[in-house]
Amino acid sequence: MIPWLTAPDFPPLSQALVEPNGLLAAGGELSPAWLLAAYRRGIFPWFSEGEPIMWWSPDPRMVLMPSHLRVTRSLAKTLRSGRFEVRFDTAFAQVMAGCAAPRRDARGTWITSHMQAAYTRLHELGYAHSVECFKDDELVGGLYGIALDKAFFGESMFSRVSDASKVALAHLARLLDDHGVGLIDCQMTTAHLSRMGGIEVPRAAFSQALDQLIGPAPAPQRWPRHADTQLDWTRTTE
C-alpha cells in the first residue's frame, strides 16, 4: 500500500515500491508548491487521464551529466550546419503539446491537459523551461523540464524531423554546463538516452546529489531566448 497525500509531506524515498518501480504515493495536487516540493526531493508525478495523481521515485535513476553528453560525428555535423534555429522559452506550451501528441510506439499520453496547465504555470513562474528547434520558422522538435538551482529535471522531448530532439538536448547540455549545473535527471532508463551519455545511478546517490545541488529555496531562472550560434561542435565522442 502507498499513502494518500493531503499535504506535500512526502514519505521517505526508501518507502517507494519495488513493483511498480518507484511508486511512492498518490493524491495531492499539481500546484507549484506541490511540484516544487516533489522535484526538490527527486519525486515526479506520472499518471494517465482519469487516474489519481501518482508520485514516483524509481531506483535506479537515469541521469546525464551535462559535460558528458555524447556527440557523434553525424550529430556534430548537424549542429555545425545551422540546419535548425534553437531557441529557449519562446514556445513552452507548443513544446508540451508536441510532447503530448500521439506517437507510433505509445498509447495515449501522460501529458494530460491538467499536466500541461500545471507546468505552463511553473514556466510562467520561471521554474519550467523549454528548448525549441525551429526549421524555416516552424517548430519541429524540442524538450522541456524543471530547473532548480544546479539540477535540471527533464520531462519529455519530441521530434518531427530527424535529429531535432538531439540538437535540443545538445544545446541544453551546453547551456547547463556553462552555468555549472551538475546533472540532468532523465527519470527512466531508455536506450536512446544511454546512447547520448545517460547513466544509471542508485536512488540514494541521486538523492544525495540533489541535496548538494539544490538549496532550500530555489529561485526562478531567466534563460536566454536564443542559443549561442558560435558554439564549437568540432569535438565528438565517437
Task: State yes or no: pLDDT of 136 exceeds 70.
Answer: yes
24-69 tens-digit pLDDT: 999 999 999 999 999 999 999 999 988 999 999 999 999 999 999 9
Short-list 195, 198, 162, 191, CA closest to 78: 162
Q: Which residues pair with 158 in a beta bridge?
A: 142
pLDDT for the residue 236: 67
Domain ranges of the chain: 4-58, 62-213
Enter the CATH code of domain 4-58: 3.30.70.3550
Chain-centroid distance, C-alpha 188: 11
Report residue 14 as a C-alpha cell: 526508501
Task: Spell out the CATH class of 62-213.
Answer: alpha beta
**Dihedral pair phi/psi, residue 97, rounded to 5°:** -65, -40
Share the mean pLDDT of the chain. 94
pLDDT average, residue stretch 6-31: 97
How far apart (Å, rounded) are the C-alpha atoms in residues 222 and 60? 31
60-75 tens-digit pLDDT: 999 999 999 999 999 9
Report residue 99 as a C-alpha cell: 510532447
Short-list 31, 68, 14, 99, CA closest to 183: 68
80-125 tens-digit pLDDT: 998 999 999 999 999 999 999 877 655 557 899 999 999 999 999 9
pLDDT for the residue 190: 87
